[in-house]
Amino acid sequence: MSSIHLPIEVLYNILGRLPVKGLIRFTCVCKPWRDFITNPDFISTHLNLHRNIDGYVLHHKMASTGAGLNCCSCLHDKTYIEYSRFDIPFLYFQLAGSVNGLLCLSDSYQYFGRTIYLWNPSIWKL
């Protein structure tokens, strides 16, 4: 296809409808797209458009003694398809709270002091 100049509002309209996974992938389409997708204005517009669409279930898998890390998965609440996953670097944790899709996890094992992790499941980042 020949190159067309996409007006910014058209780009907003199309990319705003994409799931986060697609957006993360398309940050490597070109530099203007990367800057557009990672722009805080776009991110908050996207968050507002996609608020409260789906529910999720957290699943905590304990590692068998001594081997490997604990794993925490975020599953879709209807299909149970794994949506995000991360390895927890401590044995016991509790969910301190969540807001805007971010999860705050804290180390609940008292002797190890207070470690706090902020997890954004939709971009697989801690």
Partner 1 sequence: MASSSSSSSTQVKKITLKAADGKHFEVEEPVAMEMETVKSFFVGNEDAMKDMVVPLLNVSSEHMPAILDFYRNHSEFRKRTPPPPAEEVKAFNEAFLENKSDEQLMEMIMAANFLNTKELLNFLTEAAANRIKNKSVEYVRAFFGIENDFTPEEEARIRAENEWAFDGLDED
Beta strand spans in 1-126 (E): 56-61, 70-76, 82-88, 93-99, 102-107, 116-119
- Site track for partner 1 across 18-37, x = CB under 8 A: xx-xx-xxxxxxxx-xx---
Token pair, residue 44, equals 């908050």
38 contacts partner 1 (rule: CB under 8 A): no
Identify any residues that bridge with 107 across adjacent strands, giving them in sequence order.
93
8 contacts partner 1 (rule: CB under 8 A): no
13 contacts partner 1 (rule: CB under 8 A): yes
The smaller minimum CB distance to partner 1, of residues 4 and 53, is found at: 4
On the CB side of 85, how many CA atoms lie within 13 Å of its CA?
8
Contact 106, 118 (CB under 8 A): no
The smaller minimum CB distance to partner 1, of residues 31 and 51, is found at: 31
Q: Least separation, in Å, of the C-beta of 8 and partner 1?
A: 11
DSSP 18: S
Of 104, 106, 117, 98, the residue nearest 51 (C-alpha) = 98
51 contacts partner 1 (rule: CB under 8 A): no
79 contacts partner 1 (rule: CB under 8 A): no
Q: Least separation, in Å, of the C-beta of 19 and partner 1?
A: 6
The smaller minimum CB distance to partner 1, of residues 13 and 115, is found at: 13
60 contacts partner 1 (rule: CB under 8 A): no
